[in-house]
């Protein structure tokens, strides 16, 4: 569930960033360029956050990702210029790209190599509903409120919820012991 909460924002960002940018007065071509920024930054984020998970531990990496993403989902609401929006999109994408390596590192650390595939498969089943619901829900909130403000605050709240779960459950993530048993 934690991974679903952290990954939902990436789906919303990739689906709605162009629409959000054009609503902020950014030219359509520049708005579309944000998707390239998103893709490149997510790729770099995967390397960066994988290293952070190795260096500081996967749960610490997940906590950092939750905090940073929650903050930048609030910041993205107020961005009106291409340069500032591209910067925030890049920072959100660096974090979004880092979630999967941190989750995989957590699964490997807790369950070990012998159970990695089976456990990660179950984790992916839990992520799927978040991925399918997040983007349409953001669109529905846009239609209801006329802006992405509520949707982006919801993304911040989902990340805050993931952080709360990590803080409560972190002591249960011990290497070599089944988590949450």
Say if residue 181's pLDDT is above 50: no
What is the C-alpha to C-alpha distance for residues 61 and 125, in angstroms, rounded to an integer?
A: 22
102 backbone dihedrals φ, ψ, rounded to 5°: -70, -40
Q: Distance of alpha carbon 35 from its chain centroid, rounded?
A: 15
- pLDDT average, residue stretch 7-20: 95
Whether the model clears a pTM of 0.75, i.e. scores above it, the answer is yes
pLDDT for the residue 112: 87
What is the C-alpha to C-alpha distance for residues 14 and 9, in angstroms, rounded to an integer?
A: 8
| Per-residue pLDDT tens digits for 108-117 | 988 888 999 9
pLDDT for the residue 175: 59
pLDDT for the residue 79: 77
What is the C-alpha to C-alpha distance for residues 7 and 99, in angstroms, rounded to an integer?
A: 7
Say if residue 174's pLDDT is above 70: no
% of the chain at pLDDT higher than 70: 94
* Domains assigned to the chain: 2-170 (1.20.1250.20)
pLDDT band at 37 (very low <50, low <70, confident <90, very high): very high
Say if residue 148's pLDDT is above 80: yes
pLDDT band at 1 (very low <50, low <70, confident <90, very high): confident
pLDDT for the residue 180: 45
CB-based contacts of 141: which residues, under 8 Å, 6+ apart? 148, 150, 151, 154
CB-based contacts of 45: which residues, under 8 Å, 6+ apart? 93, 94, 95, 96, 97, 98
| Per-residue pLDDT tens digits for 40-79 | 999 999 999 999 999 999 999 999 999 999 999 999 998 7
- pLDDT average, residue stretch 152-172: 91
């Amino acid at each position: 569930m934690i991974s679903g909460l952290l990954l939902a924002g990436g789906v919303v960002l990739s689906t709605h960033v162009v629409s959000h940018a054009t609503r902020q007065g950014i030219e359509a071509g520049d708005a579309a360029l944000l998707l390239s920024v998103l893709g490149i930054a997510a790729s770099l984020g995967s390397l960066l956050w994988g290293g952070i998970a190795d260096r500081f531990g996967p749960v610490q990496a997940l906590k950092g990702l939750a905090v940073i993403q929650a903050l930048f989902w609030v910041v993205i609401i107020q961005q009106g210029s291409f340069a500032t929006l591209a910067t925030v999109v890049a920072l959100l994408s660096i974090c979004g790209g880092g979630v999967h390596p941190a989750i995989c590192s957590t699964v490997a650390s807790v369950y070990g190599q012998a159970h990695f595939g089976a456990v990660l498969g179950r984790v992916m089943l839990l992520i799927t509903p978040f991925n399918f619901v997040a983007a349409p829900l953001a669109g529905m909130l846009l239609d209801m409120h006329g802006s992405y403000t509520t949707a982006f605050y919801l993304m911040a709240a989902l990340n805050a919820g993931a952080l709360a779960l990590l803080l409560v459950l972190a002591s249960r993530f011990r290497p070599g012991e089944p988590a949450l048993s």
